[in-house]
Amino acid sequence: MGIWIDTDMGFDDIAAIMVAAHAGLGIDGISLTFGNAPLEQVRRNAASAASAFVWPFPIYAGREAPVLGQLETATGILGAAGMPSAGLMLPQVPDELEGGAFEALCAWLEQNEGEEEPERRIMALGPLTNIAAVALARPDLGRRITELTWMGGSVTAGNHTASAEFNAFADPEALGIVLAHGIPLKMIDLDLCRQVLCAPEDVAPIRVAGGRNAELLADLLTGFIDIAIRRGRPAMSLYDAVAVVALAYPDTVTWQEARIDVELAGGLTRGRTVVETRAARGAFNAAFGAQIDAARARNIIMETLRAEATW
Ligand code: BDR
Ligand code: CA
């Protein structure tokens, strides 16, 4: 079996899907969630990316709102498309995507029942709403997930709020449900992702690659890096792409076991991931990436983008 990807389809999500495909992980299906933008826009982004980059994977639209509370998106930072650009935007195509992410994910988890249970690995790149929906309605299928690698959370401080990383903040109850159901979680948090940075000088090799999407990828990468530049930082992490490197090349990462919980109540700290590494303070229920071979991870990501630009 290949992997399943759950995503809110911003630019780092697109780069992540490219890294997964180039690493030969085999993508069996993609489910969409709200996040970087409302679901309607996420669907448009997915349909456009699938067309521009000739993706063969089936894509299904999923949840448009969190388990509880109000819809939160990142359009305040990323713009209405959930994806800034320094020029070209994804070409618009009609959104003919199917709905039914819940049913498709359940069907994928039901496959190959038998004595030789296959690995069922999910890569989640946004709020965990779709995964929580399966765990709640079909706990028997939730238990079949052998590994959930998730870009989200933060061991230290947040990005969307001072306390919380965006994917955790946008649906903290979903993360709580995933943890409560004992789904084996590998968290790739903000701190790990920020060990791997892309800078403005990384754009030129993509722009000169000469393929039909070279200019498009160069403009989108420039727009994404500009988010950091505008805030006085010299470089930006392609968060979701780093998380896929951790899944596809686990030897790049030093994993640490931990007790991970999520704050649901705090007025200032809602969505904060609380990471306890002292074994005496509670049974470990997850692992997080503590250290990554940043040079290797960066090379994998940039080589992937260059290959896509050359194609
Ligand atoms: C995460 O939030 C989203 O905006 C990005 O795509 C990434 O998954 C970073 O906090
Ligand atoms: Ca994402």
**267 CA to middle of ligand 2, Å?**
24
CB half-sphere exposure, 83, CA atoms < 13 A: 29
Our answer on whether the CB atom of 166 is closer than 6 Å to any ligand 1 atom is yes
**184 burial via Cβ count (<10 Å: 0-12, 13-18, 19+):** middle
Task: Supply the pLDDT for residue 116.
Answer: 78
Confidence class for position 210, pLDDT limits 50, 70, 90: confident
**12 CA to middle of ligand 2, Å?**
6
**114 CA to middle of ligand 2, Å?**
33
pLDDT, tens digit (0-9, with 9 covering 90-100), for 128-175: 999 999 999 999 999 999 999 999 999 999 999 999 999 999 999 999
pLDDT over 80 (residue 115): no
Please provide the size of the chain in residues. 311
pLDDT over 80 (residue 260): yes
| Over residues 193-206, mean pLDDT | 97
Ligand nearest to the backbone CA of 75: 1
| Over residues 89-113, mean pLDDT | 92
- Rounded to two decimals, the pTM is 0.97
Pick the atom of ligand 1 nearest to 167's CA: 2
Q: How far apart are CA 20 and CA 18, in angstroms?
A: 5
**33 CA to middle of ligand 1, Å?**
12
pLDDT over 70 (residue 83): yes
Our answer on whether the CB atom of 73 is closer than 6 Å to any ligand 1 atom is no
Ligand nearest to the backbone CA of 167: 1
Domains (ranges, CATH) in the chain? Answer: 3-200+236-294 (3.90.245.10)
